[in-house]
């Protein structure tokens, strides 16, 4: 009736924990890190690293966010790096957003840059532009001379008279 195989199945199954809740009357000064879900309605001054983050309308976060999925309804000041980011109409974000997927509802406020996660973080989007930038840096600066300026001017167009 009961066997060891049944016990092994039960111990290997993934147990989904309830989300961690931070209520409106809670203020946290420090970093938060979890592999689960966080629902935040209070104030956090520090970085947040989690799988899923839901930020309520009254929440205020000052710090960086790293997550798989972020839903923002409140205020965030800092960089957001996530696979999926959704800014609700009540969201107020001041900072850059690194994302795979980004949704912004009408009425949301965003003061920052939005960049895809596949772009390099050093500001260079592709190798071709990096080579061009390197070539420009290596090229010696030339001061225009009278001869160079005159040679670069186009010849005047002469009108035909009939």
Query: What is the mean pLDDT, run by run of 10 residues, along the chain of 162 residues?
Result: 54 67 93 94 96 96 97 97 97 96 96 86 45 40 49 56 58
* pLDDT for the residue numbered 102: 95
Find the radius of gyration of the CA atoms of the chain.
Answer: 27
| Dihedral angle sign, alpha carbons of residues 137, 138, 139, 143 | positive
Residue 42 lies in a domain: yes
Range of the domain at 77: 17-116
Is the residue at 142 inside a domain?
A: no
Which element (helix H / strand E) includes 50? strand 48-55
User: Does residue 8 lie within any of the structural domains?
Assistant: no
- pTM listed for this prediction: 0.65
Neighbours of 62 (CB within 10 A): 16
pLDDT for 134: 40
Look at the block and give the residue holding tokens 């209520």: 23
Return the C-alpha torsion angle 82, 105, 103, 56, nearest 10.
Answer: 30
Tell whether 123 is covered by a domain: no
- Structurally, the chain folds into a number of domains equal to 1
What pLDDT score was predicted for residue 17? 77
């Amino acid at each position: 009736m009961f066997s060891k195989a049944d016990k092994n199945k039960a111990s290997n199954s993934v147990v989904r924990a309830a989300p961690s809740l931070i209520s409106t009357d809670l203020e946290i000064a420090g970093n938060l890190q979890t592999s689960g879900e966080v629902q935040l309605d209070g104030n956090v001054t520090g970085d947040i690293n989690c799988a899923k983050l839901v930020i309520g309308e009254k929440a205020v976060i000052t710090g960086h966010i790293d997550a798989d999925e972020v839903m923002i309804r409140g205020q965030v000041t800092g960089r957001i790096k996530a696979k999926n980011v959704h800014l609700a109409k009540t969201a107020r974000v001041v900072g850059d957003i690194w994302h795979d997927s980004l949704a912004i509802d009408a009425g949301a406020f965003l003061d920052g840059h939005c960049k895809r996660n596949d772009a390099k973080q050093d500001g260079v989007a592709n190798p071709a532009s990096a080579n061009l930038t390197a070539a420009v840096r290596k090229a010696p600066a030339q001061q225009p001379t009278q001869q160079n300026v005159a040679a670069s001017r186009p010849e005047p167009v002469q009108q035909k008279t009939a």
